[in-house]
């Protein structure tokens, strides 16, 4: 390569990069994504097909076919018929009587949703060989009678009858039959590769097959989800092209000798007889336009056999003989009905075909869907950098509305099935890529803000500033919040043990504060500040938390458990190192009330914090946890809101220093499992009795309750509390409280 050619290549690459940047990497990605979607639609995987047919199901639910005409009658071998004429199978002579009566009543065609695959076991000759103690003359007379199958065959020859056959999953031997010739012609490409195929074919016995004018498959292959949406009109069974039972009935009615299959390179388009054409999908299946299940389609076979049905109900009608009796019922699921007899599905196929209300998904539908995806996707790619986010959203909504409306219009007005879900998914994916591209660009800008301010402000505030820069102002808002203060008990003693190792003390505090912080954050809490060994946190700000009292109590209990785990590890380490071990204990105060939360401080420096009387009380309660000998003390608002979830004990009625309004305080002793335990219930009863008698000035009764509680409290959970009340009672015995004393104890320290 010459030096000049090298320069030209460099210039070309630079110019190409410039064009790509001008066009946008996101646009390039969207074009590639759109092409990938087009390839997926051509492949048409099962999830995409299932979404499409579910959409068509919704159309039928919203606007089912209304059955205004009744060209089809189902002769039902129902419970009534079995009760009248005995269990199934009936003798073929009775079936012959049924067919004969229907023929005499003027039926246009009679089809069986039943296979007579074996000879009738009730024929006279069979009976002659079966009955015992039968004389030779009677046995000979029975053998001379025609078989029941012959009787039925004779009736079929003079009737417009169609026998039902079934496709099988395996090949079976076929009888040598001399069947009337039915021509099958094709127009266009070879349809065989597209048709549903069954390896085997279950026929009726030869004497019936040869006598009947028509034969058709009643096999219905459900969709992958078990729902019947399409019924094949033509299919292959054990190598033979076979019409469906319903289409063979149409052939018999039109007296046609040939069935025409129209197809092209995309598959089958329709199946026709002279003067009548049924559109199909590419596999030769008819999309059934279902109406609701209607008992009016059914006539009991017993009523026909007993002569209670007149010609008006049968004449010129297409007759399907099937069953709804329990044990014989062939149940199908349709988009409209979860349970529908299979014979009624065939009836609905005939109704929709004869009333020209069949559904159709033309072979060019896939081309229309691909074109719609290309047009709408390209429009979004072109307009995305031009329109505002709201304008692009509005444009997308218009596209969705157009696709849904067009699909519904073709279904409702022309009974054509066009899928809007694929163009919608493709164009929506393009839209989302562009939206996410804008989002990632915005996130990059926020990361720059975090990088600039992260070393000066708290991470939580920096995140808020990145999300909402308008929060960078002084002031706050009132909220109902739960406040927590926690502090280490005996921290002075612990710090003295690290007098010569200040780095060790720092490491210990980090090791101590980390699990406590995680316990708070895991329960949706916000860390306000660290004050040496103490933590201040709050709930229900900046994010809403409808259960902030419960989350705060859970966090407090979790903190106690994590401290116990930490102490166990420190004890092992101290024993291994031969050093003294001092356990760490924490006191926690919780309180709920109205606070002001927001950015507090000066114009030059401020912090996201909380202020209010409830905050002060939470701090005072934390300070009293040592006096009452319990690790967690909660104010009444917190405790009463969480009382159904935790083991809660009333401790006292107090007024804190600087306040005159009393507050009932509680201990959080455990979760609901502790609250339901017999031991805790006993402790709570003795504790309640102690408080009741104490406030009633019944010093002897209060002391008795204290002693009972001591005996019941094996763990010593409330030992210090009982000692506290015992000291107060001793003081009151020598110096009784005033007459207006109401049991409230005034704290003299913070």
User: What pLDDT digit, counting tens, does each position of 261-279 carry?
Assistant: 998 888 888 899 888 888 8
Cα–Cα distance list, 584 to 444, 492, 572 (Å): 44, 11, 14
Q: Which residues contact 40 (CB under 8 A, 6 or more apart)?
A: 48
Domains and CATH numbers, the chain: 8-62+374-440 (no CATH), 72-354 (no CATH), 470-625 (3.30.70.1230), 643-750 (no CATH)
The pLDDT value given to residue 3: 52
The pLDDT value given to residue 456: 34
Taking phi first (over 0 means left), then psi (-120 to 50 degrees means alpha), and beta for anything else, what does residue 597 get?
Answer: beta
Token pair in block for residue 404? 């849904």
Token pair in block for residue 289? 């336009």
How many Å apart are CA 431 and CA 255, to the nearest integer? 56
The pLDDT value given to residue 495: 78
The pLDDT value given to residue 25: 66
The pLDDT value given to residue 533: 85
Strand partners, 594: 480
Token pair in block for residue 228? 């019947």
Of 277, 248, 305, give the one whose Cα is nearest residue 82. Answer: 305
Over the Cα atoms of the chain, what is R_g? 43
How many Å apart are CA 685 and CA 223, to the nearest integer? 65
List of the chain residues with pLDDT < 50: 16, 19-20, 22-23, 452-458, 472-473
Residue written as tokens 């402790």? 683
Question: What are the backbone angles phi and psi of residue 671, rounded to the nearest 5°?
Answer: -90, -170
How many Å apart are CA 491 and CA 486, to the nearest integer? 12
The pLDDT value given to residue 42: 80
**Strand blocks (E) in 452-524:** 475-489
Contact 341, 228 (CB under 8 A): no
Contact 276, 71 (CB under 8 A): no
Taking phi first (over 0 means left), then psi (-120 to 50 degrees means alpha), and beta for anything else, what does residue 214 get?
Answer: beta
pTM of the model: 0.55
Contact 49, 361 (CB under 8 A): no
Contact 637, 613 (CB under 8 A): no
């Amino acid at each position: 390569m010459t030096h000049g050619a090298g320069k030209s290549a460099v210039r070309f690459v630079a110019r190409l990069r410039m064009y790509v940047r001008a066009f946008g990497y996101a646009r390039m990605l969207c074009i590639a994504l759109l092409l990938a979607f087009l390839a997926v639609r051509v492949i048409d995987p099962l999830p995409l097909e299932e979404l499409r047919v579910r959409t068509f199901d919704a159309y039928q639910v919203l606007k089912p076919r209304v059955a205004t005409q009744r060209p089809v009658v189902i002769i039902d071998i129902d419970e009534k018929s079995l009760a009248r004429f005995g269990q199934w199978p009936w003798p073929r002579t009775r079936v012959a009587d049924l067919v004969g009566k229907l023929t005499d009543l003027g039926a246009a065609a009679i089809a069986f949703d039943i296979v007579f695959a074996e000879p009738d076991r009730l024929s006279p000759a069979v009976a002659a060989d079966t009955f015992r103690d039968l004389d030779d003359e009677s046995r000979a007379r029975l053998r001379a009678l025609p078989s029941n199958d012959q009787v039925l065959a004779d009736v079929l020859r003079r009737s417009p009858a169609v026998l039902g056959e079934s496709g099988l999953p395996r090949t079976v031997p076929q009888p040598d039959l001399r069947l009337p010739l039915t021509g099958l012609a094709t127009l266009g490409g070879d349809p065989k590769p597209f048709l549903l195929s069954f390896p085997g074919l279950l026929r009726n016995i030869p004497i019936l097959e040869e006598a009947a004018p028509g034969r058709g498959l009643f096999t219905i292959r459900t969709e992958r989800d078990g729902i019947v949406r399409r019924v094949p009109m033509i299919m292959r069974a054990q190598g033979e092209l076979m019409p469906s039972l319903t289409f063979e009935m149409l052939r018999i009615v039109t007296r046609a000798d040939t069935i025409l299959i129209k197809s092209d390179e995309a598959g089958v388009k329709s199946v026709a007889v002279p003067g009548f054409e049924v559109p199909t999908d590419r596999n030769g299946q008819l999309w059934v336009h279902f109406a609701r299940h209607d008992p009016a389609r059914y006539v009991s076979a017993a009523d026909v056999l007993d002569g209670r049905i007149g010609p008006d109900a049968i004449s010129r009608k297409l007759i399907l003989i099937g069953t709804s009796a329990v044990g014989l019922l062939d149940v199908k699921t349709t988009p409209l009905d979860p349970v529908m007899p299979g014979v009624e599905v065939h009836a609905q196929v005939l109704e929709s075909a004869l009333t020209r209300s069949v559904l159709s998904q033309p072979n060019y539908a896939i081309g229309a869907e691909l074109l719609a995806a290309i047009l709408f996707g390209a429009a979004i790619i072109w307009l995305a950098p031009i329109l505002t986010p709201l304008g692009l959203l509005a444009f997308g909504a218009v596209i969705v509305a157009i696709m849904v409306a067009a699909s519904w219009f073709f279904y409702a007005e022309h009974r054509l099935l066009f899928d809007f879900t694929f163009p919608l998914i493709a164009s929506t994916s393009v839209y989302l890529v562009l939206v996410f591209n804008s989002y990632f660009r915005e996130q990059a800008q926020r990361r720059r803000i975090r990088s600039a301010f992260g070393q000066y402000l708290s991470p939580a505030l920096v995140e808020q500033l990145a999300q909402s820069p308008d929060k960078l102002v002084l002031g706050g808002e009132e909220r109902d919040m739960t406040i927590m203060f926690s502090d280490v008990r005996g921290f002075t003693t612990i710090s003295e043990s690290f007098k010569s190792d200040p780095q060790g003390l720092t490491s210990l505090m980090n090791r101590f504060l980390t699990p406590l912080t995680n316990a708070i954050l895991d329960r949706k809490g916000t860390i306000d500040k660290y004050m040496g060994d103490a933590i201040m946190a709050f709930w229900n700000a900046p994010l809403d938390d409808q259960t902030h009292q419960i989350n705060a109590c859970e966090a407090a209990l979790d903190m106690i458990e994590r401290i116990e785990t930490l102490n166990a590890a420190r004890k092992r380490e101290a024993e291994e190192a031969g050093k003294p071990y001092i356990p760490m204990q924490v006191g926690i105060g919780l309180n709920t009330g109205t606070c002001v939360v927001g950015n507090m401080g000066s114009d030059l420096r401020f912090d996201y914090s909380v202020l209010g009387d409830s905050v002060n009380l939470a701090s005072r309660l934390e300070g009293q946890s040592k006096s009452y000998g319990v690790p967690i003390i909660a104010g009444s608002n917190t405790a009463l809101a969480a009382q159904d979830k935790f083991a809660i004990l009333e401790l006292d009625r107090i007024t804190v220093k600087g306040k005159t309004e009393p507050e009932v305080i509680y201990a959080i002793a455990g979760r609901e499992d502790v609250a339901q335990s017999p031991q805790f219930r006993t402790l709570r009863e003795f504790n309640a009795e102690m408080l009741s008698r104490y406030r009633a000035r019944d010093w002897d009764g209060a002391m008795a309750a204290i002693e009972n509680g001591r005996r019941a409290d094996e763990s010593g959970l409330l030992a210090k509390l009982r000692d506290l009340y015992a000291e107060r009672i001793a003081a009151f015995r020598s110096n009784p409280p005033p007459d207006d004393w109401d049991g409230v104890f005034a704290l003299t320290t913070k």
